[in-house]
Amino acid sequence: MKILHTSDWHLGRSLFGRKRYNEFSAFLEWLADTIVQQNIDALLIAGDVFDTSTPSNKAQELYYRFLCRVANSSCRHIVVIAGNHDSPSFLNAPKELLRALNVHVVGTMTDCPEDEVIVIDDFRTGKAGLQEEGVYSAIICAVPYLRDKDIRHVEAGETIEDKQAKLLDGIRKHYALVCNIAEQKRAEMMQKQLQSRYQKSAIPIIAMGHLFAIGGKTVDNDGVRELYVGSLAHVDEDVFPPCVDYLALGHLHVPQCVGRSQHIRYSGSPVPMGYGEAYQKKSVVIVKLSGQQSENSNQKFDMILHEVPCFQPLESVSGSLENIQNRINELKEKQSNAWIEIEYTGSEIIGNLREQIDALIEGTSMEIRRIKNKRVMDRLIVRMSDDETLDDLDVNDVFKRCLDSFEVPPEDRPEMTQCYLEIVQNVLEEDKNDE
């Protein structure tokens, strides 16, 4: 059996106000082609399909169009679990309809753990024209993101250590329960195989999850949120039952295995979520289970990290104005279409930095997505006391400090303040689904 493991698409995510639908569309087209070229039998999507719980119409269109295309390919099954960014009810809403396409969706933990156990027991026509049973047999433990309220009961007087222990225990018990059901179903399937005249095959148990493993690698500005307050419930590889042949994880955006276990793995995000991931190689995981047992009684498997092309280059440039100008000129010579983040760290205060940078890229395909003028920001955020931080201020306080810092005349302030308040209101009232 050949599976493809991916996660953390974050469809609908923007980059400093820039919509990225073309980028997401290009990735999904590439993924659908890869599934056909690699003759994938099952696709596992380990959470964070969307970036928000209320994805836009365009993000939904990309998702459903992709599912329809893959369902009509050589890929016989698609399994989708919810991540912490997803709305469980939103993902679950069309699950009965999607099941007709062999798309299995698990949005949330329910009172029936068997809902998270998906049995794949397909038939295939052999060379002699006879059906061969169990060629693609597998059991998927599709465990979604486990929310605090799902796995822990709050009690008065709990310490941080008590909460930590309860969360880990809840995750451990849930995986044990779901995998125990999977083992029972595997035993039943193997008994049927013994009584069958068709070809016999081993039946792997493949688990899925969306969580934060101990020691997991992250990068700055990758959008990965803590799943539990205070970094609670970072799980160890020992949390997962030994019967699992492969565990497809989501949440962390850096491709990596958990501890020393090669079969417990994050696929990573396929598209850079921010400039912290700009130079990171992106990939999906292709796993081929051999049907033979290894020394630890799990199935042997071959695994490759299949690199995802870069559909939209991101470039982060920092330093003095001269350094920034030189780098942008280099990119112009290469006819780059990069989206650029600028961080000016020079000693001179440059009030018209934006205008100078815009003039540099005029006539090119490059875009400036963000400019951080460190010298100006140092002036803007002036502390009123030694222990004051930005968290102590609201958006209106910061704007007033900005006016004060630039010594804006009193007669100009009312109109500027009104414009600013209108912008804030438009942002807060934006209909994210009306796109």
Q: Is 332 exposed, middle or buried (0-12, 13-18, 19+ CB in 10 A)?
A: middle
Q: What is the pLDDT of residue 301?
A: 80
Q: What is the pLDDT of residue 269?
A: 96
Q: What is the pLDDT of residue 291?
A: 64
| Closest CA relative to residue 83, chosen from 43, 44, 51 | 51
Q: What is the pLDDT of residue 382?
A: 53
Query: Which residue ranges does the chain devote to CATH 3.60.21.10?
Result: 2-307
The answer to whether 301 touches 276, Cβ cutoff 8 Å, is no
Phi–psi pair at 186, nearest 5 degrees: -65, -40
Q: What is the pLDDT of residue 155?
A: 72
Q: Would you tell me how many other CB atoms lie within 10 Å of the CB of residue 420?
A: 16
Question: How many residues in total does the chain contain?
Answer: 435
Predicted model pTM: 0.81
Torsion sign over Cα 381, 382, 386, 392: negative
Write the class of the CATH domain 2-307: alpha beta
Q: What is the pLDDT of residue 389?
A: 53
Residue 28's alpha-carbon distances to 35, 86, 97, in angstroms, are 10, 18, 21
Q: What is the pLDDT of residue 434?
A: 46
Residue 432's alpha-carbon distances to 13, 61, 89, 369, 422, in angstroms, are 11, 14, 18, 20, 18
Query: Which residue ranges does the chain devote to CATH 3.30.160.720?
Result: 314-429
CATH number for the region 314-429 comes to 3.30.160.720
253 half-sphere exposure, CB direction, 13 A CA radius: 27
| Closest CA relative to residue 212, chosen from 201, 202, 222 | 222
Q: Distance (Å, rounded) from C-alpha 380 to C-alpha 57?
A: 38
The answer to whether 139 touches 187, Cβ cutoff 8 Å, is no
Q: Distance (Å, rounded) from C-alpha 225 to C-alpha 273?
A: 12
Phi–psi pair at 165, nearest 5 degrees: -65, -40
pLDDT in tens, the chain (435 residues): 899 999 999 999 999 889 999 999 999 999 999 999 999 999 999 999 999 989 999 999 999 999 999 999 989 899 999 998 999 999 999 999 999 999 999 999 988 999 999 998 775 544 444 444 445 689 999 999 998 778 877 677 767 677 778 888 899 999 999 999 999 999 988 888 777 766 567 789 999 999 988 777 777 655 565 554 434 457 888 889 999 999 999 999 999 998 888 899 999 999 999 998 888 899 999 999 876 665 555 667 889 999 999 999 999 999 999 999 999 999 999 999 999 999 998 888 787 888 999 999 999 999 999 888 766 555 555 554 555 555 556 677 788 888 888 888 988 888 788 778 767 655 644 544 344
The answer to whether 340 touches 369, Cβ cutoff 8 Å, is yes
Q: Distance (Å, rounded) from C-alpha 145 to C-alpha 242?
A: 20
